[in-house]
Amino acid sequence: MRESIEDKVKEIIDTSFDVTDVYSVPDIDDTRLTFTNTGLRLESTILYIDMRGSTKILNKHNRTSVAKLHKAYFYIIVKIAKSLGGKVRSFNGDGMLVFFQGTTKDTLNNAVKSAMKMGYMLTQNETVKKKFEKYSSIDFGIGIDDGTILCTKVGLAGTNNRDLVWIGNAVNKSVKIGDNLKSPYHIGISGLVYNNLNDELKYHTKKDDWGNESKVHMWIKDYFTYNGQTEVYYYTSYFLIF
């Protein structure tokens, strides 16, 4: 076994990498991905969401109750993401990556709409909120960035020995932004995403007692450190009711 591992590592490291540009989000059964040095490159807006305090929830409730919370939580995320063109990938514990493939502003705005609809369902919708709070309220952080991603298959052949790895600064930044957030500020976006937002997702229209309308900016500017450099991001407590 040692020799076979050594040989495989040599093969992987010493062989050139074959990259193909694609225009859809790959899945685990994509035949263009093999266990050789092949990868698929795409432009995508990435939404990362992670549940907070899951260890406390686990210690507070029995395993079947925690399973029900997770099932309901993930169902909401997947349902909303798919409705706006998101492709759900990489369920990891309490976290998930969603890819909105493409380079248009509509794609990017759909990712932010998804996040704000998730925020509504998880924190404001009375029916869902009551059901969650029967056990524990759900806290979470969502980070969003856009960029070029490389997808490659890792592991061994077989149903349960393989997965996809998503490589790119946009993935890492979305995770970094999401990890900074918690209630009541659940959603954060990179400066690139913010600069491409439509006004409907930047401003909330508010009416005073006399019916006069004014626009309220929904995002707060802040900074985080990435790869030794200061990066701008924006976060909000606003959500979209639907």
pLDDT at 212: 86
What is d(CA 196, CA 105) in angstroms, rounded to the nearest whole number?
A: 6
Q: pLDDT tens digits for 40-53?
A: 999 999 999 998 76
What's the sign of the alpha-carbon dihedral 115, 117, 120, 122? Answer: negative
The model's pTM is 0.93
Closest CA to 90 of 128, 141, 50: 50
H or E segment at 217?
A: strand 213-217
Write down the domain spans for the chain: 15-236
Report, at the CATH architecture level, how domain 15-236 is classified: 2-Layer Sandwich (3.30)
Letter string b/e over residues 143-153, b meaning 16 or more CB atoms within 10 A of that residue's CB: bbbbbebebbb
Is 48:178 a contact under the CB 8 Å cutoff?
yes
Q: pLDDT tens digits for 162-182?
A: 899 999 999 999 999 999 998
Which residues does residue 79 pair with via DSSP β-bridges, in sequence order?
none
